[in-house]
Structure 1
Amino acid sequence: MTTEEIVAQQPYSASWWNAIEGATDDDRAAIQSRRLREQIEYLATHSAFYRRKLAAAGVDPAAVRTAADLADLPFTEKQELRDSLKAAPPLGEHVAAADDRIVQIQASSGTTGSPSYVGLTRGDVTTWCELGARALYANGFRPGDRLLHGFGMSKGFVGGIPVVQILQYMGIVDIPIGAEAGADRLLRVQADQRPNALIGTPYFLTHLAEQAPSIVGAEAKDLGVRTISVGGEPGGGLPVVRDRLAGLWGASVREMLGGTDIACTYWGECEVGDGMHFHSPDLMVAELIDPDSGQVLDPVEGTTGELVYTALRREASPLLRFRTRDHVVVTGTDCACGRTGYKIRCVGRTDDMLIVRGINLFPSAVKELVAELAPAATGEMRIRVDFEGHTTQKPLAVVVEHAADLDPDGQTALKEAVETRIRSALNVKAVVELVPDGTLKRPDHVKVALIERV
C-alpha cells in the first residue's frame, strides 16, 4: 500500500482509538465468534494448508462456532510455517490469496535460518494499521505528533515500513531514520527536528539517551520528547528499566507487543502503566495456554502462560491457533482507563527459558536484578551457556559489567550482591564474572541477546 493510499483515521475518543476497546464481555464474544466463523469459512475455501490440517485433526470447519471451540483445534507451529515456505515458495502452502492481490511482503529476523515471509493484501495492511493504531494510541501517540523512528528500518522487519504505515494511518508524521543509522544520526535529527514522540527497543533508546551529551551537547531530556513507546524485546515493563528511560528522556514510557507472523503490534499499555491491553477482539483471538500441556488457561491476575493467536481478518497469510512462544504474566483484569479484558507483561520467549537444576528461569529476570544494582553495575549482563539445549545442572554463569570507577572492594561487594540476589529471588545458584564498563556489546538496530552460547 502506497503512502497515498493510506488515509488517516480519527480516534473514537480522547482515550481510546476504537470503541471495541471498552466492549462488554458479551459484546466482545459475539463479534469475535461471528468473525471467527467468517475466517474459518475463508480458510476452508482458500487455504489447502488449513483444509488438510483440520481434516487430519478430524475437525469439521462448520462446527467451529465460537472462540471457545478453538480449544478443540490443533495449534499452528512455527516449524510448520517454515516447512510450508520451503515446500511452496515464495509464500508457502498456507498462502490464501492470489498473487495479484498481494501488495507487500514482510520478513522475520530468521535467527534460526532463512527468514519467515508474510504476505499482505491491501485489506491486511489496513487491518495491521488498525491493530497498531489502537496499541500506539494507548501508548500516548496522537494525531499531529511528530515521531523519530528508532526501530530498524531494514531487512523487511515489521518495526520498519509497517510502523510507518500505522503512524500515517493515525495522522502522525514519521521521521524514518531507523536504528541502523546509529546514535549520531538519530540524535542529530532529534536535536534538529525535535519530534515529540519516539519509538524503539528499550535498551537501544536508553543507550541513545546516554550518548546525547557527547553527540549533541545536551541531555536527552532537553530534546523535546514527550512520549516513548518501546517493544521488540522484554524489558520495557521492568520498573528499573522504564524509570531510567523515562528519567533520561523526561518523557512517559509505555510498552507495546506484536510479532511478524500475526501483525506488527496489537498489545499496548495505557497511562495507568501496569500492563498491556489487548485492544482488538474483533480482529484477533488471543488465547493463553499452559506451554507444557497446551491447555487453555483462564486469564486471571497472576496467571502465567504462552500466547496463542488466531487472525480474524487475514487474507494472504492467515494463521489459526498460532503458537508465539511469548511467555506472559497477567497483571490485571480491569483498568482505570475503562478498557475491558485482561492485561499482560511479556517476560520472555518460551524458547529462551533456561532450566537450571529444575528451576525455570528467564534471562529478563536476571537482567532486572542486575539493573537494580546501579550505579555499581551498568545494567549490562549476559548469561553464558556452555551446554546443549536449555537444561543444565551447573550453576548459572553470569557476566556483569561494573561501573568504570568502582574500586576493588566495591567490585567484590557487587559480585556477592548479584549472586545473593539471584539465589534469593530465583532460587538458582549463580557464578558471577565482573567485567569493566563498555565490555559488553550495546544494543543497536539488532537486538542484543541476553544469552551467549559458548
Structure 2
Amino acid sequence: MVRDTPSYWNAELETLAWAEVERWQAQQIARALPAIRARSGLYRELLGAAPADPALSDLSGLQALPFTLKEHVRAAQDRASDEQPLGDNQAVPLVDIVQTLSSSGTTGKPLYYGLTRHDSDMFADAIANTWYTAGLRPHDVVAHLVALPMVAGGLPYADGFRRIGATLAWLGGFPTDRILREMRRLRCTALLATTSFGLYLAEQWASVGQETGVPSRLAKVLCGGEPGLNQPTIRERITQGLGIGHLREVMGLGDVIPAMWGECEAHEGMHFNAQKHVAIELIDPATGDVLPWAAGATGEIVYTAFNREATPMVRYRSRDHALVVGVDCACGRTSPRIRCIGRTDDMLIYKGMNVFPTAIRDLVTARFAADVEPMLRIWKESADQVRFDDPIAIDVEASPSVAAAQYAGLGQAIESEIRNQMQVRVRVTVTPPGSLPKSAYKNSLLAVRSAPPAR
C-alpha cells in the first residue's frame, strides 16, 4: 500500500515568502564569501577589486560583485597542477574531493568540477527536491536513461533518486530495445530522459517490450536537458506515445547543480528548487542589470552556489535565457516559475536580427504540427559561425502521413511562415521520417557541415 507523503521536500523554504528566502540567502552568502576568497585562486582574482564585505542585507548587494563567466572557469581549469588537477578554482585539498564531474561539453571543451562529501550530499538534496516537485515519490521505480555516470546528469541524478527513496533502475547505455523491455520487467513507474530521447522512446513504446508479457507500469515521465517540453506538440507526442498523463519538465546546470528547476502539478513552468543551497538572479544579458522576478520578464539566469566547498561558484552567468511565467502558484510554492527559451551560446544573427534556434523550432512545430516531426536540424558552415547573410539551412522531418511528393511544397510553406513571423530567411530541406539522428543524451538543434546541400 502506498503511504501518504508530504506535499513538499522542504516545506519551510519552499513555502516561505520569496523576499524572505532571498534575505536568508544573502546572510548565507555573506558568511561564505570570506572562505571563498581565501580558498579559491579564481575568486581571489575575480573578487580582488570588490568590497571585502559587501552589504548583503538582501541579494541586491551581489551587484557589487563581478560576474563569473565560463571563460573564467575554463582559464582557471587550465592552470591545473598535480596538487590541483581542477585548477585555480579547486578550493579544497585533493584528499577531500570524493568525486569529479564533467560538463557535457556541448558548447566547447568540457569543464570539470569536484565534490566533497558535503557537496555530494548537498547536490543529492537539491536534486531530490527537484524530483519531488516534479512528482517522484519513494514508491516509484525510476528508469534513469542518462548513460554516462561522470556527466552532471549521471551519478548526481542517481543520488537524487536514491535520496527520495525511489528504486533506481539505471538503464542508460543499453540499446533502446533492451531499455524498453527492462522497463517492463522491472515494473518501472517513472523514467527520466532528455526531451528528444523521450520522443524517440514514445515512437518505439508500442512496438517493443510487449513480448515480455508484462504490462506497462509507466505513469510518470520527467524530461529535460534541452528546451522543447513547453511545446504542446512535443508534450502530446510523448504522453500519447508512452500512454502516460504525468509529464514534467526539469532543468539544471552542471556547472552549479545538475537539477534545480522542476515543474509541479500546475504544469505552468518550472519552480526553482535549490534555494537551500543556491541564490538566483535574473539579468538583462546585454547590460548585466538585475531584473525583477516578475511574470512576463525575460532574461539570463545567474547563480551563486553559497553552500559549495570544492569548486565555488559566485554570480555565474548561465547563458540560459528564461521567461518568467509567474511568481506564485496554486501548489503553494513561492519560488519563481520559468520556461527556458534558449542559450546565448546557440543564438544566431541573421542580417543583424538575433534569433534562437529554439524559436525557429517552436514556430515550425506549432504551425506545422500535423505535417512535421518535432525534431529539426539547423546547419552552420563552421563551429564558430554566428552570423548569416544567406538563408539559414534547416532540415525538417516530415510526418509519415506526408507523401514525398509534398516535401517541396511543405518546405516552401515553412520558409514563408518563418520569414513572415520572424523576419528571417531560411532554406528548408524536408527529409523522410526518422532521418534525423536521435541520441539517449542531448541532441543539439545546431550542427556543422562544410557546405549546404544543393536544392
Normalised by the length of structure 1, the TM-score is 0.91
CA contact (8 A) 1:35 1:282 kept: no
Q: What's the counterpart of residue 21 of structure 1? A: 14
Moved more, 388-397 or 295-304: 388-397
Q: Which amino acid counterpart does residue 122 of structure 1 have in structure 2?
A: R
Q: How does 1:24-39 map to 2 (within 5 A)?
A: 24-39=17-32
What is residue 451 of structure 1 aligned with on the other side? 446
From 45, 54, 57, the counterpart of 1:52: 45
Verify the 8 A CA contact 1:43 1:96 in the aligned structure 2. yes
Counterpart CA distance in 1 for 2:142 and 2:421 is 39
- Superposed, 1:53-452 pairs within 5 Å as 53-55=46-48, 57-61=49-53, 63-89=55-81, 90-111=85-106, 114-154=109-149, 156-178=150-172, 180-217=173-210, 223-251=216-244, 252-372=246-366, 373-386=368-381, 388-404=384-400, 406-407=402-403, 410-441=406-437, 443-452=438-447
Which structure 1 residue ranges, 5 or more long, are not aligned?
A: 1-9
CA distance in 2, matches of 1:52, 1:408: 60
Query: What secondary structure is seen at the aligned counterpart in 2 of 1:215?
Result: coil
Q: CA deviation at 1:208?
A: 1.2
AA matched with 2:135? G
CA RMSD of aligned residues (A): 2.2
Task: Give the letter for the 2:6 counterpart.
Answer: S
Q: 1:77 to 1:235 in 2, by over 3 A?
A: same
Quick one: distance in 2 between partners of 1:69 and 1:100? 34
The 1:15–1:218 alpha-carbon spacing in structure 2 relative to 1, beyond 3 Å, is: farther
Distance 1:288 1:368, change over 3 A: same
Please give the per-residue CA displacement for 1:417-437, whole angstroms capped at 9, x wherever unaligned. Answer: 312321233232222111222
Per-residue CA deviation, residues 386-437 of structure 1 (Å, 9 max, x unaligned), is 3653122222221112234523553244223312321233232222111222
Contact 1:11–1:18 at 8 Å: present in 2 too?
Answer: no
1:218–1:187 distance in 2 versus 1, CA, 3 Å:
same
Task: Give 1:47 deviation, angstroms.
Answer: 2.1
Query: What count of residue pairs does the alignment treat as equivalent?
Result: 440
SS of aligned partner of 1:133: helix
> Letter of the aligned partner of 2:80 in structure 1?
A
> C-alpha distance in 2, partners of 1:80/1:248?
43
Distance (whole Å) between structure 2 residues aligned to residue 432 and residue 234 of structure 1: 21
1:263 shift after superposition = 0.9
Quote the Cα distance in structure 2 between the aligned partners of 1:351 and 1:421: 25
Counterpart of 1:275 in structure 2: which amino acid? G
- 2:155 corresponds to which letter in structure 1? I
Over the matched positions of the two proteins, sequence identity in percent amounts to 35
Q: Tell me which amino acid in the other structure corresponds to 1:121.
A: T
Structure 2 gap ranges (5+): 450-455
Q: Structure 1 counterpart of 2:88, which letter? A: E
Letter in 2 for 1:282: K
Q: Distance in 1 between matches of 2:114 and 2:153?
A: 16
- Counterpart CA distance in 2 for 1:15 and 1:65 is 27
Contact persistence 1:21–1:280 (CA under 8 A): no
CA distance in 2, matches of 1:181, 1:78: 33
1:218 Cα deviation (Å)? 7.4
State the 1:331 CA deviation: 1.0
Between stretches 300-309 and 111-120, larger displacement belongs to 111-120
C-alpha spacing 1:346/1:440, structure 2 compared with 1 (3 Å): same
**Deviation for aligned residue 1:122:** 0.9
The CA distance in 2 between the partners of 1:163 and 1:209, in whole Å, is: 22
The aligned amino acid for 2:224 is: G
- TM-score by structure 2 length? 0.91
SS at match of 1:314: coil
1:54·1:73 contact (CA, 8 Å) conserved in 2?
yes
AA paired with 2:180? Answer: L
Question: Structure 1 stretch 339-348 or stretch 361-370: which is displaced more?
Answer: 361-370
